[in-house]
């Protein structure tokens, strides 16, 4: 006979309680009455209290992360930077940042100066998300003015790691695009960014420079930041600035980047040329037509590239991108892209809008839809009206409210069920 605890009478009753029938088994009806009472007294105010409580909890956790930015461990600071950035990417919280601007800027500046490569990149990302939250708000401009010098110094530092310089270039481009309104400063930054991606220009003998993949990624990041700032240019003297001044690189130099060995550089160069022609043709229908004729041949080769020494995925991406660029340069036709969020549709019908959306999407990822609904900076950028009910009450917020309501009801029902079962178990034991 196997050893073990012998079942007592009460244990047998508990194990077989579901098979017995008695007057005491009427307790499920008591549960139903309790549940109905709970549902009658439940209101939307309860959901609002839950939301407020969740908001307070989130702010407490973010405050703890901010305190963690001053710890001694470099990896600990890096993790705090990453977690804080991830939270602010997902949720629009400008008031929270306004109250802690000085502390955040001080931590970012210290980490970019003295931290390791991973910590510097994480700090640069947090600087970007702060400007995404505040934009051209006076405090946002103060953040940009405070952090730009240290980020620019790191981006231009040849002794820094290429991936860190690349992240600083992207941060500078995004922050300037969102928080700066000075055209002179933007042009100066564009010239400084050109000194970085000029490393991918052809050599004096016309040969392609031999750059490492890390340096290629850095040059592509600097060129993408340059292109994003170029979208802020106003038509009027683009042709003069390209051909007769040192403010902007001429088209022949930019077209040399199409021969780079790195896909990222080729794609960034193609998008930059498309942007230049789009804005330039707004001031003159015949903008650089002669150069366009020679450029079309290069674009056709890239749009039909079938070299086997390149990865299949790379060839596919290159052909798809350069087909759109060729279509615009040759026939002035732009492929429309529609972005759906909630019940609204954002139409990207120009290269300027596509570049701006791509820059934000690369940083915000799937959370771009939340910012299109809630973020005033991005709504103003893409001229999204805020009068629609769905924009005032986002779909994800409605979904969260419904989840909270169900959770409260389930908790109340579970508590009532537990109390009733405990009561009836006591009765059966006495019996």
Say yes or no: 286 and 349 in one domain: no
Indicate whether 6 belongs to any domain: no
Say yes or no: 331 and 199 in one domain: yes
CA distances from 366 to 80, 339, 379, 380 (A): 21, 12, 16, 20
Indicate whether 45 belongs to any domain: no
Indicate whether 122 belongs to any domain: yes
* Cβ–Cβ < 8 Å for 260, 200: yes
The predicted structure's pLDDT at residue 325: 94
Per-residue pLDDT of the chain (431 residues; tens, 9 = 90+): 444 444 444 444 444 443 344 444 433 444 433 333 333 343 434 445 555 667 778 889 999 999 999 999 999 999 999 999 999 999 999 999 999 999 999 999 999 999 999 999 999 999 999 999 998 888 989 999 999 999 999 999 999 999 999 999 999 999 999 988 788 889 999 999 999 999 999 988 889 999 999 999 999 999 999 999 999 988 777 878 887 767 788 899 999 999 999 999 999 999 999 999 999 998 888 888 888 888 999 999 999 887 766 778 888 888 999 999 999 999 888 888 888 887 888 899 999 999 999 999 998 988 998 899 888 889 888 888 754 444 344 555 555 666 666 677 777 777 777 777 776 665 555 54
Indicate whether 65 belongs to any domain: yes
The predicted structure's pLDDT at residue 262: 93
Indicate whether 25 belongs to any domain: no
140 token code pair: 């946002």
Say yes or no: 188 and 284 in one domain: yes
The predicted structure's pLDDT at residue 21: 41
The predicted structure's pLDDT at residue 27: 36
Pick the last residue of a domain from 271, 305, 335: 335
Indicate whether 240 belongs to any domain: yes
Say yes or no: 216 and 329 in one domain: yes
The predicted structure's pLDDT at residue 312: 80
The predicted structure's pLDDT at residue 236: 78
Say yes or no: 197 and 87 in one domain: no
Q: What angle do CA 296, 302, 304 make, to 5 degrees?
A: 100
The torsion defined by the Cα of 172, 173, 179 and 183, in degrees rounded to 10, comes to 110
Dihedral sign for Cα 87, 88, 91, 97, please: positive
The predicted structure's pLDDT at residue 410: 75
Rounded CA separation 260/222 (Å)? 15
The predicted structure's pLDDT at residue 250: 87
Say yes or no: 331 and 188 in one domain: yes
Indicate whether 167 belongs to any domain: yes
The predicted structure's pLDDT at residue 31: 41
Say yes or no: 199 and 329 in one domain: yes
Say yes or no: 236 and 218 in one domain: yes
The predicted structure's pLDDT at residue 204: 85
* Cβ–Cβ < 8 Å for 30, 420: yes
Q: What is the CATH number of the domain that holds 66?
A: 1.25.10.10
Q: Which of 171, 174, 178, 106 is nearest to 137 (CA)?
A: 178
Say yes or no: 171 and 227 in one domain: no
Q: How many domains does the chain have?
A: 3
Q: Give residue-wise pLDDT tens across range 218-245.
A: 999 999 999 999 999 887 778 788 877 6
Helices (H) and strands (E) in the chain, counts: 21, 2
Pick the last residue of a domain from 335, 351, 367: 335
CA distances from 304 to 156, 260, 293, 372 (A): 36, 16, 18, 36
* Cβ–Cβ < 8 Å for 279, 238: yes
Q: Which of 286, 250, 285, 255 is nearest to 268 (CA)?
A: 255
Say yes or no: 105 and 221 in one domain: no
Indicate whether 20 belongs to any domain: no
Which domain covers residue 354, as residue numbers?
Answer: 336-384
Say yes or no: 222 and 86 in one domain: no
Rounded CA separation 224/230 (Å)? 10
Say yes or no: 200 and 158 in one domain: no
């Amino acid at each position: 006979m196997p050893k073990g605890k012998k079942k007592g009478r009460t244990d047998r009753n508990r194990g077989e309680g579901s098979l017995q029938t008695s007057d005491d088994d009427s307790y499920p009806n008591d549960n139903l009455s309790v549940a109905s009472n709970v549902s009658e007294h439940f209101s939307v105010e309860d959901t609002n209290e839950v939301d407020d409580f969740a908001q307070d909890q989130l702010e407490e956790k973010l405050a703890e992360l901010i305190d963690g930015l001053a710890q001694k461990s470099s990896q600990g600071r890096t993790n705090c930077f990453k977690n804080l950035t991830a939270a602010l990417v997902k949720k629009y919280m400008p008031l929270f940042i306004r109250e802690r601007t000085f502390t955040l800027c001080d931590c970012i500046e210290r980490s970019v100066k003295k931290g390791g490569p991973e910590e510097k990149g994480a700090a640069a990302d947090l600087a970007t998300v702060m400007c995404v939250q505040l934009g051209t708000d006076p405090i946002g401009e103060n953040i940009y003015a405070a952090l730009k010098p240290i980020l620019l110094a790191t981006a231009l530092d040849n002794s820094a790691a290429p991936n860190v310089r690349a992240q600083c270039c992207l941060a500078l481009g995004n922050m300037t695009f969102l928080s700066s309104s000075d055209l002179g400063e933007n042009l100066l930054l564009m010239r400084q960014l050109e000194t970085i991606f000029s490393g991918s220009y052809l050599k004096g003998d016309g040969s392609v420079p031999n750059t490492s993949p890390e340096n290629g990624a850095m040059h592509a990041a600097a060129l993408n930041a340059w292109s994003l700032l170029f979208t802020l240019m106003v038509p009027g003297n683009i042709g003069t600035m390209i051909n007769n001044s040192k403010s902007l690189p001429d088209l022949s130099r930019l077209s040399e980047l199409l021969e780079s060995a790195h896909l990222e550089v080729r794609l960034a160069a193609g998008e930059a040329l498309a942007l230049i022609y789009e804005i330039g043709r707004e001031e003159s229908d015949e903008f650089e037509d002669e150069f366009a004729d020679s450029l079309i041949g290069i674009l056709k080769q890239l749009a039909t590239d079938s070299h086997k020494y390149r990865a299949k995925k790379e060839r596919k991406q290159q052909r798809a991108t350069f087909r759109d660029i060729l279509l615009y340069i040759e026939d002035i036709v732009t492929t429309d892209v529609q972005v759906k969020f909630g019940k609204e549709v954002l139409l990207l019908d120009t290269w300027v809008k596509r570049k701006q959306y791509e820059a934000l999407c690369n940083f915000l990822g799937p959370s771009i839809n939340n910012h299109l609904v809630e973020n005033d900076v991005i709504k103003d950028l893409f001229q999204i009206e805020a009068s629609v009910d769905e924009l005032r009450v986002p779909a994800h917020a409605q979904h969260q409210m419904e989840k909270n309501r169900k959770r409260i009801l389930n908790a109340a029902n579970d508590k009532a069920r537990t109390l009733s079962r405990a009561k009836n178990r006591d009765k059966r034991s006495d019996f």
